Structure 1
Amino acid sequence: MKSEKEHNVKIPIKNIKIHQPAQVEHYKPRDQIYVRKVTGVFQTLRRKMNFFFLTLFAVLPWLQYNGHQAILFDIVEQRFTLWGLTLWPQDLTLLAWLFILSAFLLFFVTTFLGRVWCGYLCPQTVWTFIFIWFEEKIEGTANQRKKLDSQKLNVNKFWRKALKHSCWLFFSLLTALTFVGYFVPVQTVFIDFFTFNSSFAIAGTIWFFALCTYGNAGWMREVMCLHMCPYARFQSAMFDKDTFTVSYDAKRGENRGARSRKQDPKELGLGDCIDCNLCVQVCPTGIDIRNGLQYECINCGACVDACDGVMERMKYEKGLIRYTTEHELEGKKVHLIRSKLLGYAVVLLIMSSLLIIEIVNRAPVSLDIIRDRTELAKENFNGEIENVYTLKILNKSQTDNRYRLSVNGIENTTWHGEQEVLVKAASVYTLPMSISVDPYELNGAYMTDISFVIELISDDDDVKLDKESRFFNKR
């Protein structure tokens, strides 16, 4: 047995300090990006394209054709007008073809030139640069804007911020009014809105789109491109090693480092990149293109122009950052014509041809036949069997037309109602009528197939349309 002394022996304890790992910040609030102004070939091209399509967007709803708005997507009347073409719900296949064609055109361009749609034509990018232009004119350069935001509120800061946001809101309101003008007659939209006669639905729609424009282009900006735009996520599926994208030539640029213009970078063991960070400062999404291809890059070419300007001042060769392909950067041959690109081109050609054929063969008139459901057939006072119909004649053209109606399938029929009607341009004419026939002409059949024929009465055009229906006998 152990003695009492052995039982009372204390075990020495050593205090060990446990170092807790630094707390990882899983969510970092968005840092505001102060986009620096840059000039160059691609920015000039982008501004001219933006101006052209912005002008087109503003002018198109005001154009007139044959006394009506040339482009009007009238949802209430279920009628889409495109110059001389009027589309009705029956013609939605044409719109479907148009949307599919546009999608494949986007795929084709993306496979060849990368995400240039985002950099040069996307409304989010266009409106964001317009809002940045307001910032530059009112608050100054990127460094001046950053300094202004760091200051406490004073008179100078207040009036500049108030003026900037007022310009943003006014431009957003004009954008919303123009946009709604594509769906409601544009003159009515502007006049009713500024005279406070707009309906609640139209006024609410205008303010909704105005606030969305203000929020997207003024506040969210690159957040839309990075986190909300689906195109940014699936664009990589269309890229290959021969796709032209904005890329940094690491072989030529590394190692980076500052130097004077007179120093030889090779003697210093440096590449052509002077690590000025201008490519980051001019990027609207705030990325560093030198880190390689990133889905955030919208191919706007701002970093290309900024880098070319630096290379020119340093008397180095331009193109350290340029539109190039992965194969070119690796020193391999670039294949401009390849199977994926040819596949998209073939699909585009086929769909364009089908769309043109469908438009050319589209009937300028439509006829819907509605039977009287209360009584399929009745015997009139002459002892004849009579069926009652309602004909819906849709004039899809932009001119008033006169049509002649007749029926085939039964001999010696009597037509009760108008057989020649005038239908206004792009409108529907409802014609109640009935057909009667001697029972002996039906040969005892309970149901006989017939067809209604509608013909355009004109010396210039030969339009004729048949529509099947049924004629019922009394049991």
Structure 2
Amino acid sequence: MTQRIKIKEIKSTHKNSADRFNPSNRIYVRAVYGFFQKLRKFTGWGLILFFIAMPMIRWDGHQAVLFDVDKQQFQLFDMLFFPQDLTLVAWVFIIAAFALFFFTTYLGRVWCGYTCPQTVWTFIFIWFEERFEGTANKRKRLDEMPWDFNKVWRKTAKHTGWLAVSLLTGLAFCSYFVPVEKLYTDFFTGQSSMLVLIMIFIFTFSTYANAGWMRSIFCVHMCPYSRFQSAMFDKNTYSVGYDATRGEKRGPRSRKVDRNETGLGDCVDCDLCVQVCPTGIDIRDGLQYECINCGACIDACDQTMDKMGYPRGLISYTSEQVLEGKETKLLRPKIIGYGLMLLVMVGLFIVNLSTLTNAEMEILRDRNSLYRENVDGLIENTYTLKVINKSTDAQVYRITFAGLKDATLIGPKQITIQSGEVFTQPISIAVDPYDIKAKKITLTIKLTNVDNNEVIEQDASFFLGL
């Protein structure tokens, strides 16, 4: 079994570390630029555009992605899903869980740093702060200043931007459940229903509160993922780490001074790694569950190393094994196990998806009577045919049956069903009593697509005779 990381008691010497668990202690995140922040911004903006644009895509005359609660159906491009198909949603969540376990074991909390909505929206809100209130130090001084016109207009502009982004987020989320044209038209013309307005308000308020006010409080105190991630970490997990062997003893010095003469390590104790951290931790204290692996401290430290003329990598994506001077093992039981389970779940999902048909049919026998003799002297059984057209277009189906020789179908031989329609049709099957060889006969009723003569669905029932 893979060796787990030992728990270490952290007693940070940083001046702000004692208050970082206090929810009222605000963190002023300093701006930083570098490779990992460019990667984070590229990923974040891509996900946001994907989130907003998906409901707006038109596909074959309809909205490409729509969870229609009223009709109880889910439109996904050419596919139409109904409540009975919700097992696919379960498979999607299972796959997502194992993918999260796999990548966390291998690369730590990369989900939190690069793709988590809390992180993505938080950095967008910080962007508004920087545009209207200035750098981290300016924002801190502005909060300490008394209220005047300068402070009022800057705060108002910032919160207006926050609310605009929050409202857009709420509308974008609701557009997955309400047709996008109707949603935006009704909202901006004041014709939205009370339920839609409540949904928009809830998601607007949640975005504004989480990304604007809570931020790291949510990550540190509320997010369950930060708590159970330790079960997936081991000494070979790649995460943001500080090379204490190279960095200690830390201390400031001039760039002109030879570091070998000072007896100090490469860390100049500039505190930039702490100032750019969105959760306010000091990565030099070691691995901490608050770290979201965003790489901001890596970019800040690399810039300092470049200015000092030292090699990069004092803070980097590394593993406990490497920091201890050992080699990282990429293939290990936990990684292999999660990987195999992920492949199995993806395979089962594909199998489940491939078995879906464009129509579903159910045959229900009339329970009020076993059989009856009609005016022509034929033995007749009555059934209710229930068909759901799961395609995106109207379909014409032909009804046939097998298992009973020389029988007659009483009712429509061909039916037309609109897209998403749940069609119910009573039918009867009649046969001469002399042709009945048994009291209970297995009957197969088939549904055939008229356009391509393909048997779409079939269901078995019983024909009861004398």
Aligned residues: 448
What CA deviation, in whole Å up to 9, does each residue of 1:344-391 have, x standing for no partner?
222222222222233223222210223334444333322333333221
Matched, 1:252 2:249: no
In 2, distance between residues paired with 1:374 and 1:210?
54
Q: CA deviation at 1:42?
A: 0.3
Name 2:462's counterpart in structure 1: 470
1:285-300 equivalences under 5 Å are: 285-300=279-294
Q: CA deviation at 1:444?
A: 6.1
Partner of 2:94: helix, strand, or coil? helix
Name 1:380's counterpart in structure 2: 374
1:80-91 equivalences under 5 Å are: 80-91=74-85
Aligned partner of 1:251: which letter?
T
Partner of 2:422: helix, strand, or coil? strand
1:217-296 equivalences under 5 Å are: 217-296=211-290
Partner of 1:451: helix, strand, or coil? strand
Among 415, 421, 430, the alignment partner of 1:436 is 430
Name 1:449's counterpart in structure 2: 442
Among 145, 152, 162, the alignment partner of 2:146 is 152
What CA deviation, in whole Å up to 9, does each residue of 1:386-411 have, x standing for no partner?
33322121122223221111222222
In 1, distance between residues paired with 2:236 and 2:48?
32
Matched, 1:134 2:152: no
Give the root-mean-square deviation of aligned CA atoms: 1.9
User: Matched residues, percent identical?
Assistant: 52
Partner of 1:466: helix, strand, or coil? strand
Aligned partner of 1:419: which letter?
K
Aligned partner of 1:469: which letter?
S
In 2, distance between residues paired with 1:168 and 1:103?
31
Partner of 2:261: helix, strand, or coil? coil
Aligned partner of 1:470: which letter?
F
Aligned partner of 2:448: which letter?
E
1:330-369 equivalences under 5 Å are: 330-369=324-363
5+ residue gaps in structure 1? 1-24
With 91-100 and 169-178 compared, the bigger mean Cα shift is at: 91-100
In 2, distance between residues paired with 1:418 and 1:319?
76
Q: CA deviation at 1:170?
A: 1.4
Normalising by structure 1, we get a TM-score of: 0.90
Matched, 1:40 2:34: yes
Name 2:3's counterpart in structure 1: none
Partner of 1:267: helix, strand, or coil? helix
CA contact (8 A) 2:240 2:317 kept: yes
Q: Which has the higher contact order (CA 8 A, sep 6+)?
A: 2
Name 2:183's counterpart in structure 1: 189
Matched, 1:323 2:317: yes
Matched, 1:390 2:384: yes
In 2, distance between residues paired with 1:34 and 1:299?
18
What CA deviation, in whole Å up to 9, does each residue of 1:174-231 have, x standing for no partner?
1111111111111111111111111111111111111011111111111111121111
In 1, distance between residues paired with 2:178 and 2:272?
46
In 2, distance between residues paired with 1:399 and 1:372?
31
Aligned partner of 1:225: which letter?
C
With 361-370 and 127-136 compared, the bigger mean Cα shift is at: 361-370
In 2, distance between residues paired with 1:353 and 1:236?
28
In 2, distance between residues paired with 1:361 and 1:76?
26
CA contact (8 A) 2:171 2:200 kept: yes
What CA deviation, in whole Å up to 9, does each residue of 1:58-78 have, x standing for no partner?
111111111111111222222
Partner of 1:202: helix, strand, or coil? helix
Matched, 1:204 2:193: no
In 1, distance between residues paired with 2:436 and 2:279?
76
Aligned partner of 2:90: which letter?
A
Q: CA deviation at 1:28?
A: 4.5
Distance change in 2, residues 1:378/1:199 (3 Å): farther
Aligned partner of 1:468: which letter?
A
In 1, distance between residues paired with 2:421 and 2:218?
41
In 2, distance between residues paired with 1:230 and 1:470?
53
Partner of 2:292: helix, strand, or coil? coil
CA contact (8 A) 2:23 2:217 kept: no
In 2, distance between residues paired with 1:141 and 1:88?
51
Q: CA deviation at 1:450?
A: 1.7
Partner of 2:454: helix, strand, or coil? coil
CA contact (8 A) 2:360 2:390 kept: yes
Aligned partner of 2:54: which letter?
L
In 2, distance between residues paired with 1:140 and 1:281?
15
Name 2:5's counterpart in structure 1: none
Q: CA deviation at 1:473?
A: 4.3
5+ residue gaps in structure 2? 1-18
Matched, 1:413 2:407: yes
Distance change in 2, residues 1:193/1:338 (3 Å): same
Normalising by structure 2, we get a TM-score of: 0.92
Name 2:7's counterpart in structure 1: none
Q: CA deviation at 1:435?
A: 2.2
With 216-225 and 385-394 compared, the bigger mean Cα shift is at: 385-394
In 2, distance between residues paired with 1:350 and 1:388?
44
In 2, distance between residues paired with 1:421 and 1:308?
70
CA contact (8 A) 2:446 2:455 kept: no
Aligned partner of 2:160: which letter?
S
Partner of 2:32: helix, strand, or coil? coil
Partner of 2:443: helix, strand, or coil? strand
